[in-house]
Amino acid sequence: IKRIGVLTGGGDAPGLNAVIRAVVKVATREYGLTVIGFEDGFGGLIENRARRLTEKEVVGILPRGGTILGTTNRDNPFHYPVEENGEVVYKDVSGRVMENLAGHGIQGMVIIGGDGSLKIAEELWKRYSLPVIGVPKTIDNDLLATDQTFGFDTAVTTATEALDKLHTTAESHHRVMVLEVMGRYAGWIALHAGVAGGADVILIPEIPFTFEKVCEKVRERRRAGKKFSIVVVAEGAKPVGGELVVKKVVEGSFEPLRLGGIGNVVGDKIEEMTGIETRVTVLGHLQRGGSPTSFDRILATRFGAAAVNFLMEGRYGEMVCLRTPDIGSVPLAEATGAMKRVALGNDLVRAARQMGISFGD
């Protein structure tokens, strides 16, 4: 291998630039490779939008959020919208991808992304034997094959800082403060930020809650003289027997699920049922922006370096992963489609319960 390509796909996560930087540095310094970066995820690979990445291009990007390559949730080469006779039809344009790669003389790809991007990576490997290595990314931390994804620690830190701030205003006004956080169908961000930020109630998708139990906790605190309460709600949390608040938006082959809204439902109910003034904050994409924490910078750097090393060792069709304390790899086929959710016996859930935190169940 003399030339490799790199792209970032799916939603962004703090630490993407740290991965790109490590890939470029290790590839050029250690192996004398040429690195080509594709723009805006698989869109750049399909439309051949690419640029060479030398060490100069990655100077100063370590602490920067986002991705210098751009990214998108759309653009699947196996299901790509093309116009035919004035109509949009979805086609397999993966042949075009292979031509573009051949045109650049690229013999290996580092694909940094979430479940959707990693599935495409696996398909390119299976169908064309394209040497690929995946790097797992998501703030949600819901990939089964790795102990942790980069971006998660930063998201938790941002949510924890928000909880610290909500505490002071909650205390002054004797209010209930509800914070809705991201995480899609998993409660990792809510659980970790809730514990780190001293929440009184944590609602996660894995543990269906009842409004009565949530209000019981708030009332119990009142009776104990604590006039404020802090409630963290994961965007995918749902009441027992209730519907998940999800809006489905279909774009190409990707079906991004617009979660969110449950925070407001919970806030309204608490105010109605307890009579205590309640305010809701939806943290949203603040959790995805900004500078990665040192933990995420380190994990992203380890992943980026390992991706190049594994590619050079011929470990194709795999994904780098954290198997604490080491970095390892797993076949992409095993890494995708399997979600990691908070187990009911999770020790942090147990500790939180023992500390008096309610999960509303």
Q: How far is the CB of 138 from ligand F6P (least distance, A)?
A: 5
73 binds ligand F6P (CB under 6 A): yes
Of residues 102-121, those binding ligand F6P (CB under 6 A) = none
Name which position in 108, 183, 205, 239 contacts ligand F6P (CB under 6 A): 183
287 is in an annotated binding site: yes
Task: Evaluate whether 6 touches 133 at the Cβ level (below 8 Å).
Answer: no
Nearer to ligand F6P, 191 or 259 (CB): 259
Q: Which residue has the tokens 């998201």?
A: 155
124-155 exposure pattern, b = at least 16 Cβ within 10 A, e = fewer: bbeeeebbbbbbbbbbbbbbbbbebbbbbbbb
Using the contact rule CB under 6 A, the part of the chain among 132-140, 170-178, 316-324, 334-342 near ligand F6P is 132-140
Cα distance from N-terminal residue to C-terminal residue, the chain: 55
Is 140 annotated as catalytic? yes
Q: In this complex, which beta carbon is closest to ligand F6P, that of residue 140 or of residue 271?
A: 140
- Residue 322 CB, shortest distance to ligand F6P, in Å, is 18
For the chain, helix (H) and strand (E) counts, in that order, are: 12, 15
x-or-dash pattern for ligand F6P, window 218-247, by CB under 6 A?
-----------------x------------
Beta-strand relationship, 257-259 and 246-248: antiparallel
Interaction between residue 184 and ligand F6P (CB under 6 A): yes
Angle ∠(13,110,56) on CA atoms, nearest 5: 80
Task: State the Cα–Cα distance between residues 262 and 351, nearest whole angstrom.
Answer: 25
Nearest position to ligand F6P, beta carbon: 182
Instruction: Dump the DSSP string for 69-129.
Output: T---S--BTTBEEEEETTEEEEE--HHHHHHHHHHTT--EEEEEESHHHHHHHHHHHHHH-
Q: Which of 5, 8, 9, 11 binds ligand F6P (CB under 6 A)?
A: 11
Q: Does 182 bind ligand F6P (CB under 6 A)?
A: yes
CB of 266 to ligand F6P, least distance (A): 17
> Rounded distance, CA 346 to CA 147, Å?
14
Cα(34)–Cα(17) distance, integer angstroms: 18
Choices 134-142, 171-179, 211-219, 303-311 (CB under 6 A): range interacting with ligand F6P: 134-142
- 60 labeled binding residue: no
Active site positions, annotated: 140
Per the annotation, where are the binding residues? 11, 74-75, 114-117, 138-140, 175, 182-184, 235, 279, 285-288
**Where along the sequence are the contacts to ligand F6P (CB under 6 A)?**
11, 73, 138-140, 182-184, 235, 256, 259, 288
Annotated binding site for ATP: 11, 74-75, 114-117
